[in-house]
């Protein structure tokens, strides 16, 4: 199958299994529920372990069901290879740990998902990795934050939870001028709405738990290698990829795996040693979600934009944080990057404070109060006391999260039912 000749909606259904399963002739991707694989002979086993022969070794590293999922997401993002792992948190962690070592530095956006923010500002610091958190809309500040030991620039397509828009092209230009890769979390954007690699990103990560799966049923994460960053030219800066690896008898991943060096090294070393493996069953469930990604996202966006309009005109709403609004500082960039709309996860400020926000949430029908987003079912949460509660008051202020902030994840229900539910909840405020 030539991926270049096919459109997104076709790719999401066929990549990775262009022909029926060769063993059973099944049209659906089989679930290969196995931990291990038989080698043909001793030489074959040695070649597999020595990375001289591509194929399955052990379930912690690869699985055929997982492989279809990896290939499909990589094709949708326009990357050269993908790696699926147990969760979105694992994907973000592995992407950073693949190039960051003790004494290194990372520059990251100030509007990250709370878990990613904690990872960078707290967990990685215990491993000797320092950071600078910057406003990624301030390009001078971004460039000024880059140090000689900086190894990556990390941001998201949409900020969490306020749905501010990232200028990926501008960040990529800054990163590449300073010989570092740009890593973009595209969980909220989805490859259907934006493909960061086309805008200069080098690595893309996803919490597949969200839009890719779409039904809140399975955890998973994906790392996609854009295949464009020249690790070897910057060998001293990126020794994990461009210098001999002692755990693989001196193999240089940039030589062994070429354009797919980044994800190959994660699979061969980090996943081997730390084991955040996705289960074949979860990979299969997430594949079912990917097959309807475009259809669902269209409806998510359609509903979200109608709710944004409704909230913008409600007397009990102080502010709606969504880039589709002409008053939003990212509005022009939003129109450029998202001509078909985007941002079904966003916040609004209710008039009052925490008490009013909680009262609204506790009386909101249809919307489920839970710590997830991007489900086909509509969701709601109070970020300051839940998803971002580990942050200090200063950090919350930095991310524009207040006691009055309510986050919505708009699902695919009938829009009239959703607006009726919102209207009823406001009556208790």
In the predicted model, is pLDDT for residue 14 greater than 70?
Answer: yes
Q: At what angle do helices 415-426 and 293-312 cross, to 10 degrees?
A: 40
- Non-local (6+) Cβ contacts of 407 within 8 A are 161, 345, 346, 347, 373, 380, 381, 382, 383, 387
In the predicted model, is pLDDT for residue 372 greater than 70?
Answer: yes
In the predicted model, is pLDDT for residue 429 greater than 60?
Answer: yes
- Non-local (6+) Cβ contacts of 342 within 8 A are 158, 189, 193, 194, 301, 323, 334
The pTM of the full predicted model, rounded to 2 decimals, is: 0.95
Whole-angstrom distance, CA of residue 153 vs CA of residue 170:
12
In the predicted model, is pLDDT for residue 2 greater than 60?
Answer: no
DSSP output for 288-335: HHHTTHHHHHHHHHHHHHHHHHHHHT-TTEEEEE-TTSTTSTTHHHHH
Q: What is the average pLDDT value for the chain, to the nearest integer?
A: 95
Q: Which two tokens stand for residue 405?
A: 């902030």
In the predicted model, is pLDDT for residue 69 greater than 70?
Answer: yes
Q: At what angle do helices 280-290 and 64-77 cross, to 10 degrees?
A: 30
Q: What is the arithmetic mean of pLDDT over 58-87? A: 96
Task: Summarize pLDDT for 283-328 with one digit per residue, the tens.
Answer: 999 999 999 999 999 999 999 999 999 999 999 999 999 999 999 9
pLDDT of residue 374: 95
In the predicted model, is pLDDT for residue 128 greater than 80?
Answer: yes
Q: Which two tokens stand for residue 275?
A: 């084991």
pLDDT of residue 4: 60
pLDDT band at 399 (very low <50, low <70, confident <90, very high): confident
Q: Which residue has the higher pLDDT, 123 or 395?
A: 123
Whether 193 contacts 166, CB under 8 Å: no
**Whole-number percent of the chain with pLDDT over 90:** 86
Helix (H) or strand (E) holding 205: strand 203-207
Q: Which two tokens stand for residue 303?
A: 């509903």
Whether 227 contacts 260, CB under 8 Å: yes
**Phi first, then psi: what are they for 248, rounded to 5°?**
-130, 40
CATH 3.90.1150.10: does it fit domain 294-426? Answer: yes
In the predicted model, is pLDDT for residue 88 greater than 60?
Answer: yes
In the predicted model, is pLDDT for residue 254 greater than 70?
Answer: yes
- CATH number for the domain formed by residue range(s) 3-290: 3.40.640.10
Whole-angstrom distance, CA of residue 382 vs CA of residue 369:
9
Q: What is the arithmetic mean of pLDDT over 244-255? A: 92
**Nearest alpha-carbon partner for 319 in 341, 342, 362, 351:** 351
pLDDT of residue 18: 83
Q: What SS3 state is found at 29?
A: coil
Q: What is the arithmetic mean of pLDDT over 14-41? A: 90
Q: Which residues of the chain are in CATH 3.40.640.10 domains?
A: 3-290
In the predicted model, is pLDDT for residue 3 greater than 60?
Answer: no
* Angstrom distances, CA of residue 102 to CA of 4, 234, 322: 41, 18, 38
pLDDT of residue 325: 97
**Nearest alpha-carbon partner for 338 in 183, 167, 213:** 167
In the predicted model, is pLDDT for residue 120 greater than 70?
Answer: yes
């Amino acid at each position: 199958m030539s991926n270049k000749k096919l459109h997104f909606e076709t790719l999401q259904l066929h990549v990775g299994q262009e022909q029926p399963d060769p063993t059973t002739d099944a049209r659906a991707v089989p679930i290969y529920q196995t931990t291990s694989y038989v080698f043909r002979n001793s030489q074959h086993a040695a070649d597999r372990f020595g990375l001289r022969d591509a194929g399955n070794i052990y379930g912690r590293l690869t699985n055929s069901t997982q492989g279809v999922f990896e290939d499909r997401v990589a094709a949708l993002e326009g990357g050269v290879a993908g790696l699926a792992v147990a969760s979105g948190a694992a994907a973000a962690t592995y992407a950073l740990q693949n190039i960051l070592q003790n004494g290194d530095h990372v520059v990251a956006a100030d509007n990250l998902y709370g878990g990613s923010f904690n990872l960078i500002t707290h967990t990685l610091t215990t491993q000797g990795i320092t950071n600078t958190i910057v406003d990624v809309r301030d390009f001078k500040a971004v460039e000024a934050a880059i140090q000689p030991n900086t190894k990556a620039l990390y941001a998201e397509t949409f900020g969490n939870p306020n749905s501010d828009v990232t200028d990926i092209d501008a960040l990529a230009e800054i990163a590449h001028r300073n010989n570092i890769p740009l890593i973009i979390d595209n969980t909220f954007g989805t490859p259907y709405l934006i493909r960061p690699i086309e805008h200069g990103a080098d690595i893309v990560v996803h919490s597949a738990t969200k839009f890719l799966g779409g039904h809140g049923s399975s955890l998973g994460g994906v790392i996609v290698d854009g295949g464009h960053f020249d690790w070897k030219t910057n060998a001293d800066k990126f020794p994990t990829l461009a210098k001999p690896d002692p755990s693989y008898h001196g193999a240089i991943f940039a030589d062994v795996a070429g354009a797919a060096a980044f994800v190959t090294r994660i699979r061969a070393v980090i996943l081997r040693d730390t084991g955040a493996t996705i289960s074949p069953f979860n990979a299969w469930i997430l594949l079912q979600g990917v097959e309807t990604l475009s259809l669902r996202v269209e409806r998510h966006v359609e509903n979200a934009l109608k709710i944004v309009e409704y909230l913008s005109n409600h007397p009990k709403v102080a502010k709606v944080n969504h880039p589709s609004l002409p008053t939003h500082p990212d509005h022009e960039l939003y129109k450029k990057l998202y001509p078909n709309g985007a941002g079904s996860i966003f916040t609004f400020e209710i008039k009052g404070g925490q008490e009013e926000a909680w009262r609204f949430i506790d009386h909101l029908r249809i919307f489920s109060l839970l710590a997830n987003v991007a489900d086909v079912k509509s969701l709601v949460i109070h970020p300051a006391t839940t998803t971002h509660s580990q942050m200090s008051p200063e950090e919350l202020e930095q991310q524009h999260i207040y006691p009055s902030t309510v986050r919505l994840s708009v699902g695919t229900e009938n829009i009239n039912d959703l607006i009726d539910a919102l209207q009823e909840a406001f009556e208790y405020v």
